[in-house]
Amino acid sequence: MQIDAPFWDSLVFDGIDDVEVEAVTAAFGTVEVVARGRAAACSDCGRFSDRVRDRYQRRLRDLPLAEQGFVIQLTVRRFICGSADCPRRTFAEPFSRLAAPYARFTTRLNHALEWVGLALAGRVGARLAAQLGFGAGRMTLLRRVMALPDRRFSTPRVLGVDDFAIRRGRTYPTVLTSVEDHRVVDVLPTREAGLLAAWPRAPDAAPPMLCRSPTWFHLWQGLGRAMETCVAAYRDCLRNPVDSLSHGPDPSPQEWGRGQPGGPWLR
Ligand SMILES: [Zn+2]
């Protein structure tokens, strides 16, 4: 297929200056862009070289285009570094803004897979990925999530501690939360005090202030259900708001609840 190279360059490699399009083909529901690098500098000495030692191919799956698969067939050149005082003999074009080393997906597709994996995890995420045309299985999604860097660790100033039951009440893990910014910090496998005492914190951080976690999920949940049941049971007793306007002035505080167990809100 003859191509408008500047158009495809701007479409596929927007913000990626070291790649240029050579050809575009479309067949069997897949658009394939053939591309190569423009120039590369040695990662050690920073000098550019035009002495090509060899070439190899990378096939990168990218985000779908108009519900068609999208693949970048990339020619990678390995150069000989001509600098006499450089310890590196050869170097390959890195294309670091397009894909990670040895990756089979572009960086943008990788990010999309991370989002799907974080939201839906393995099996459900794989079903959504298939619908979106990402072509990634559940293990791929899980590997993307596992490869994500850990969040920067900081010891909370106020640490909330609570336990919860799993496995029908046979196991009680402990959840640690940062009370001030309402985030889960860690989950300990049991509710033994020794585990909490040994819980690691940043070496130079002051010991956190401990409190019973305000996120007592089970208590809030139980209270909400009880309130819902109570209100539903007395639903027929609720006074019509239109009728209440025609009943004259509001009762005095002494009259509140007189003969009406539910107070002024119940008949
Ligand atoms: Zn060099």
173 and 136 in one domain? Answer: no
65 and 23 in one domain? Answer: yes
Judge whether 3 lies within some domain: yes
Judge whether 134 lies within some domain: yes
What is the pLDDT at residue 16?
86
Q: What share of the chain is helix, strand, coil (3-state, %, to 5)?
A: 30, 30, 45
E strand segments, 81-190:
90-92, 158-163, 174-178, 183-188
Judge whether 111 lies within some domain: yes
242 and 183 in one domain? Answer: no
What 3-state class would DSSP assign to 1? coil
Please tell me the distance between residue 37's alpha carbon and the centre of ligand 1 in angstroms. Answer: 18
User: Could you tell me which residues come within 8 angstroms of residue 62 by beta carbon, excluding any fewer than 6 positions away?
Assistant: 12, 70, 71, 72, 105, 106, 108, 109
What is the pLDDT at residue 263?
46
Judge whether 29 lies within some domain: yes
pTM of the model: 0.60
84 and 28 in one domain? Answer: yes
What is the pLDDT at residue 167?
73
128 and 185 in one domain? Answer: no
| Domain's final residue, options 63, 79, 99 | 99
What is the pLDDT at residue 39?
85
Q: Which domain holds residue 198?
A: 158-218
121 and 90 in one domain? Answer: no
Please tell me the distance between residue 57's alpha carbon and the centre of ligand 1 in angstroms. Answer: 23
Please tell me the distance between residue 48's alpha carbon and the centre of ligand 1 in angstroms. Answer: 8
75 and 22 in one domain? Answer: yes
Say how many domains are in the chain. 4
87 and 27 in one domain? Answer: yes
Please tell me the distance between residue 54's alpha carbon and the centre of ligand 1 in angstroms. Answer: 17
Please tell me the distance between residue 118's alpha carbon and the centre of ligand 1 in angstroms. Answer: 40
Which two tokens mark 17? 């200056």
90 and 111 in one domain? Answer: no
Judge whether 7 lies within some domain: yes
Please tell me the distance between residue 85's alpha carbon and the centre of ligand 1 in angstroms. Answer: 8
Please tell me the distance between residue 175's alpha carbon and the centre of ligand 1 in angstroms. Answer: 51
123 and 67 in one domain? Answer: no
Please tell me the distance between residue 36's alpha carbon and the centre of ligand 1 in angstroms. Answer: 21
What is the pLDDT at residue 50?
87
What 3-state class would DSSP assign to 59? strand
Judge whether 226 lies within some domain: no
Please tell me the distance between residue 81's alpha carbon and the centre of ligand 1 in angstroms. Answer: 5
Please tell me the distance between residue 254's alpha carbon and the centre of ligand 1 in angstroms. Answer: 91
What is the pLDDT at residue 108?
93
115 and 81 in one domain? Answer: no
Judge whether 224 lies within some domain: no
pLDDT in tens, the chain (267 residues): 556 778 888 888 888 888 889 999 988 889 999 999 988 889 899 899 889 999 999 999 999 988 899 999 999 999 999 888 999 999 999 898 899 988 999 999 999 999 999 999 889 999 999 999 888 889 999 999 998 887 776 788 888 888 888 877 788 888 888 888 878 888 898 888 888 888 877 767 777 887 776 556 667 777 888 888 988 888 888 777 665 555 556 655 555 555 454 444 444
Please tell me the distance between residue 50's alpha carbon and the centre of ligand 1 in angstroms. Answer: 12
Please tell me the distance between residue 30's alpha carbon and the centre of ligand 1 in angstroms. Answer: 38
Judge whether 230 lies within some domain: no
Please tell me the distance between residue 241's alpha carbon and the centre of ligand 1 in angstroms. Answer: 82
Please tell me the distance between residue 90's alpha carbon and the centre of ligand 1 in angstroms. Answer: 8
What is the pLDDT at residue 267?
42
Residues 16 and 55: beta-carbon distance below 8 Å: no
189 and 256 in one domain? Answer: no
What is the pLDDT at residue 71?
94
Which residues are within 5 Å of ligand 1 (an ion), measured at CB? 42, 44-45, 81, 83, 86, 88
